[in-house]
């Protein structure tokens, strides 16, 4: 069975994430309905909040079986009255440490949602006691399902899908708050790994061709807007096919990896290096003139042979350089630097050619 490519897997994860959000919304709605039924029967009392754990079969299943789900309820004054098994596992507190205490739980919102809160209300959501955070969102009507960041007992953070509802008192005012949250740590880690695979070369870890082209388009647009220079540097390893044919692809891979690491160390922080294909590499050099790019290429051409290998001993590179011209499309610049590289190969290799 063939494995799906990273882009396909990311799309699948996005669909799974939408399904996950629906599941947590259903769990939250079940908890909310149960809470209101308990309050109608018993009033807003400690007993009512304690009965949340035992009243609903659906909610009990969430509380006792779903270790990825945290359910927390607290009074209006911030005293925690319900702390599920999932909350214990996710947050690092025991229920007997949390229930009956104030400010035992801390959480904060993601930056984007904090900015959204400021735009909506003119202020940022608070960071600190769970009751204060819940109250802020209920008061401001921001109680739907959102992605939040929880803070564990040890200070580490992790992402969750979180829904909040107010538990009304006898007069219909918020008498407490109920939250249902699901841990997204594993999903975020997997998404990040798949995204990296989709954008990077698996051997060298450098950007792949598609991602580099996107970076080049952005730099070309920035240059046209601010009239700042940039240049491209493209190089390949001389006679690399002969290396593979003579010593095998494992030796060839070792050379590609070593050369990519050496070049990465020689470039500046703002520069972007990518594997263009096979033994070809390309570098984006912001704020660099044609003369500056040629100097960088000559430095690399002189340095690469100093990297020693058991087989074939050493290698050389041929490079082409080109500076962006005003209004020049990115693909035209790429063709010019590619033509310069091949001109160097046709004239004996181990040299730098300027477009």
CATH classification at residue 239 = 3.30.70.270
pLDDT in tens, the chain (355 residues): 455 566 676 666 666 666 655 655 555 555 555 555 544 544 444 555 455 544 444 555 556 555 667 877 777 766 777 788 888 888 888 888 887 775 444 444 444 445 444 544 555 544 444 545 566 555 655 555 667 777 777 878 788 877 777 776 666 666 677 777 878 887 778 778 888 888 999 999 999 999 999 999 999 999 988 999 999 999 999 999 999 999 999 999 999 999 999 999 999 999 999 999 999 999 999 999 999 999 999 999 999 999 888 889 999 999 999 999 988 999 999 999 999 999 999 999 999 999 9
Which domain range does residue 28 map to?
A: 6-189
pLDDT at residue 43, as a whole number:
46
pLDDT at residue 95, as a whole number:
82
Cβ distance 243 to 250 under 8 Å?
no
Q: Which of 151, 166, 189 is the last residue of a domain?
A: 189
User: Helix, strand, or coil here: 154?
Assistant: coil
211 and 185 in one domain?
Answer: no
215 and 321 in one domain?
Answer: yes
169 and 39 in one domain?
Answer: yes
12 and 32 in one domain?
Answer: yes
User: Helix, strand, or coil here: 150?
Assistant: strand
Please write the tens of the pLDDT for every residue from 191-219. Answer: 788 888 889 999 999 999 999 999 999 99
Beta strands at 280-286 and 80-83: parallel, antiparallel or unpaired: unpaired
211 and 174 in one domain?
Answer: no
34 and 168 in one domain?
Answer: yes
What residues act catalytically? 279
Whether residue 38 lies inside any domain: the answer is yes
Distance CA 329, CA 336 (A): 11
133 and 170 in one domain?
Answer: yes
pLDDT at residue 112, as a whole number:
43
Which helix (H) or strand (E) covers residue 42, if one does? helix 6-42
Whether residue 37 lies inside any domain: the answer is yes
Whether residue 1 lies inside any domain: the answer is no
Number of domains making up the chain: 2
Task: Report pTM.
Answer: 0.64
213 and 146 in one domain?
Answer: no
CA angle in degrees (0–180, nearest 5) for 203-209-211:
100
pLDDT at residue 128, as a whole number:
46
Cβ distance 349 to 318 under 8 Å?
yes
Distance set, CA 148 to CA 19, 30, 169, 341 (Å): 17, 21, 27, 50
205 and 155 in one domain?
Answer: no
């Amino acid at each position: 069975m063939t494995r799906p490519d990273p882009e396909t897997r990311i799309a699948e994860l996005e669909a799974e994430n939408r399904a996950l959000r629906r599941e947590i919304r259903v769990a939250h709605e079940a908890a909310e309905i149960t809470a209101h039924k308990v309050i109608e029967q018993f009033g807003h009392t400690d007993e009512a909040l304690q009965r949340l754990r035992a009243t609903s079969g659906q909610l009990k299943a969430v509380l006792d079986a779903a270790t990825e789900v945290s359910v927390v309820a607290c009074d209006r004054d911030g005293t925690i009255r319900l702390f599920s098994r999932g909350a214990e596992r996710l947050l690092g507190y025991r229920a007997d440490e949390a229930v009956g205490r104030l400010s035992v739980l801390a959480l904060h919102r993601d930056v984007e949602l904090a900015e959204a809160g400021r735009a909506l209300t003119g202020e940022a959501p608070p960071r600190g006691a769970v009751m204060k955070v819940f109250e802020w969102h209920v008061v401001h009507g921001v109680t739907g399902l959102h992605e939040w960041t929880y803070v564990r007992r040890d200070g580490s953070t992790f992402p969750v899908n979180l829904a909040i509802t107010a538990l009304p008192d006898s007069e219909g005012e918020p008498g407490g708050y109920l939250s249902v949250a699901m841990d997204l740590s594993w999903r975020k880690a997997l998404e990040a790994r798949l995204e990296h695979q989709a954008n990077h070369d698996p051997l060298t870890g450098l950007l792949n061709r598609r991602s580099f082209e996107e970076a080049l388009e952005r730099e070309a647009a920035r240059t046209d807007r601010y009239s700042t220079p940039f240049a491209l540097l493209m190089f390949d390893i001389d006679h690399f096919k002969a290396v593979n044919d003579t010593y095998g692809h494992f030796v060839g891979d070792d050379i590609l990896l070593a050369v990519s690491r050496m070049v990465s160390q020689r470039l500046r922080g703002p520069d972007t290096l990518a594997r263009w294909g096979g033994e070809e590499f390309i570098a984006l050099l912001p704020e660099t003139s044609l003369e500056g790019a040629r100097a960088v290429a000559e430095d690399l051409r002189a340095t690469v042979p100093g990297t020693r290998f058991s087989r074939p001993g050493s290698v050389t590179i041929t490079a082409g350089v080109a500076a962006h011209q005003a209004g020049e499309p990115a693909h035209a610049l790429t063709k010019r630097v590619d033509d310069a590289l091949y001109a160097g190969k046709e004239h004996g290799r181990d040299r730098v050619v300027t477009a």
